[in-house]
Amino acid sequence: YPNPFTNEIYFKTKADILNKKYLIYNASGQLIQSGILNGNKINCSDFSKGLYFIKLEGSTKLVKVIKEN
């Protein structure tokens, strides 16, 4: 959350997602960022306005988020 976001994406932190790898893809399916969740937010201030998908390690679910500004 929030969705749409401007600079950071926040997660409702649960112990089971901490230290998990995340992958962020753009609308074309290109991997644009990856890392390890070591808190409850991911900085996305360098992203262009548009649609993105987040995938967490161990999950098959993609979460759709929209960047404004």
Amino acid identity, residue 31? L
CA 31 → CA 6, 13, 15, 34, distances in Å? 19, 23, 25, 8
pLDDT score for 64:
95
Question: Is pTM, for the whole model, over 0.85?
Answer: yes
pLDDT score for 1:
58
C-beta of residue 44 within 8 angstroms of C-beta of residue 66:
no
Element (H, E) at 53: strand 50-56
C-beta of residue 22 within 8 angstroms of C-beta of residue 42:
yes
12 SS3 class: coil
pLDDT, one tens digit for every residue, the chain (69 residues): 578 889 999 877 667 777 889 999 999 999 999 999 888 889 999 999 999 999 998 888 999 999 998
pLDDT score for 38:
85
